[in-house]
Amino acid sequence: MLISGGGTGGHIYPALAIANRWMEMYPDTEILFVGALGKMEMQKIPEAGYKIIGLPVAGLQRSLTPDNLSFPIKLWKSLMQAKKIIKDFKPDVVIGVGGYASGPVLFMAQRKGIPSLLQEQNSYAGLTNKILGKKAMKICVAYPEMEKFFPIEKISYTGNPVRADILHLEGKKEKALEHFGLSPDLKTILILGGSLGARTLNRAMLKDIKALNKEYQVLWQSGRFYFKKMLEATQDKDYEHIHLREFIREMDLAYAAADVVVSRAGALSVSELSLVGKPVIFIPSPNVAEDHQTKNALAYVSNGAAVLLKDSEAEGKLKLKVDELLNDESRMTELGTNIRKMAKPNAADDICNEIYRLVG
């Protein structure tokens, strides 16, 4: 099996979830990943115990930049390398999870007639997957109504595969509070901006930090890009109920501790939160292709399963939205119930079953 794609955690972690579940089902399989040189998959995939080869491919910038001049050269080199990888590895099936590297690999595999499957995480399909979807044999999606992007007969509504530990949060709250040093007497707000961080969420936190510290406790993942600055802004202040972290590895415990979650609306985050079943305030990033985070969030908001706070309004309104939820128990219950209805807990199994049908 050849698995290609990456660039962000939203592509990488579903790919690993598929690989891990497949190996549990069929342990005699050989799996090779193909990613983009310099992207996070080149570190994360080997850490998970899999081999990966990097391609020089990069994205085409939407504005006129010098980087675009080298795009055709990198693409050509990547296509030739992908052709050689396929020739040497001889995969029975190729899986594309989105991201730069999936384009050349899936394109060359499809030219050779090798069965291919796409896994589209978002509610708005990316350009690469829309092109590859024409010749893919199966397309696994995380949202309904994706026939506007792909041939309906190829679509399987599986959901996004997520890490297994968040499927079982029952009975973990006491352990979670102890692990993070949280009080059982205060409501807990979990702030998530992704592993790199989200500037708007961090600035919104700083804006309302005094009021939040006075009434609640906050488990705050600032992300790698912003941690030092956030630490400097808070370390000399008396914010005893603000628990700042660069990155949270024990996400099952973080979710178990939370009463309300404030998060970006990346595909993986949305899928995880639907399984967690807690009230969520989505603050979608406006700085992504096709504004797909807003589309992800609206798919839940329209079903009464989440609250939307626009990125442009987050500073100064974060505590207001939190207050509205934490002071309305029936609303919190309703949101938690509705978001859980949209969960797909068996996504990894369902995708692996679709792969099996391709290769028999």
Looking at 83-166, which runs of residues are DSSP E strands?
Answer: 94-96, 116-120, 138-141, 155-157
96 and 176 co-located in one domain: no
193: pLDDT confidence band, cut at 50, 70 and 90?
A: confident
65: pLDDT confidence band, cut at 50, 70 and 90?
A: low
What's at 190, amino acid-wise?
A: L
67: pLDDT confidence band, cut at 50, 70 and 90?
A: low
Q: In the predicted model, is pLDDT for residue 4 greater than 70?
A: yes
Q: In the predicted model, is pLDDT for residue 135 greater than 70?
A: yes
Give the annotated binding-site residues for UDP-N-acetyl-alpha-D-glucosamine.
Answer: 8-10, 122, 163, 195, 248, 267-272, 293
What's at 255, amino acid-wise?
A: Y
212 and 272 co-located in one domain: yes
177 and 313 co-located in one domain: yes
Percent of the chain with pLDDT over 90: 79
Convert 323-337 to b/e letters by CB count within 10 Å (16 or more is b): eebbeeeeebeebee
* Per-residue model confidence (pLDDT) at position 68: 67
β-pairing verdict for 32-36 and 51-55: parallel
Distance in angstroms between the alpha carbons of the first and the last residue of the chain? 13
101 and 243 co-located in one domain: no
120 and 238 co-located in one domain: no
Task: Work out the average pLDDT over 252-256.
Answer: 97
Task: Work out the average pLDDT over 26-35.
Answer: 97
Segment (H or E) for 230: helix 227-234
* Per-residue model confidence (pLDDT) at position 167: 81
Do 126 and 120 meet the contact criterion of CB atoms below 8 Å apart? yes
* Per-residue model confidence (pLDDT) at position 237: 84
* Per-residue model confidence (pLDDT) at position 54: 96
Q: In the predicted model, is pLDDT for residue 60 greater than 80?
A: no
Q: In the predicted model, is pLDDT for residue 171 greater than 60?
A: yes
188 and 337 co-located in one domain: yes
9: pLDDT confidence band, cut at 50, 70 and 90?
A: confident
197 and 329 co-located in one domain: yes
149 and 42 co-located in one domain: yes
Task: Work out the average pLDDT over 124-151.
Answer: 93
* Per-residue model confidence (pLDDT) at position 235: 86
* Per-residue model confidence (pLDDT) at position 335: 98
Q: In the predicted model, is pLDDT for residue 62 greater than 60?
A: no
Q: In the predicted model, is pLDDT for residue 231 greater than 90?
A: yes
Mean pLDDT of the chain: 93
165: pLDDT confidence band, cut at 50, 70 and 90?
A: confident
Structural domain containing residue 152 = 2-160+345-359
Report the domain count for the chain: 2
Q: Which residues contact 178 (CB under 8 A, 6 or more apart)?
A: none
Look at 191 and 287; give whichever has higher pLDDT.
191
Task: Return the structure tokens found at 124.
Answer: 């708005």
184 and 332 co-located in one domain: yes
pLDDT per position as a tens digit, 98-118: 888 899 999 999 999 999 999
349 and 333 co-located in one domain: no
Of 4-13, 133-142, 220-229, 346-355, which gets the smallest average pLDDT?
4-13
Give the annotated binding-site residues.
Answer: 8-10, 122, 163, 195, 248, 267-272, 293
Q: In the predicted model, is pLDDT for residue 70 greater than 90?
A: no
201 and 175 co-located in one domain: yes
Q: In the predicted model, is pLDDT for residue 61 greater than 60?
A: no
pTM of the prediction?
Answer: 0.87
CATH code assigned at 315: 3.40.50.2000
pLDDT per position as a tens digit, 258-308: 999 999 999 889 999 999 999 999 999 998 877 889 999 999 999 999 999
159: pLDDT confidence band, cut at 50, 70 and 90?
A: very high
Q: Determine the Cα–Cα distance for residues 220 and 181; give it in Å rounded to an integer.
A: 13
124 and 237 co-located in one domain: no
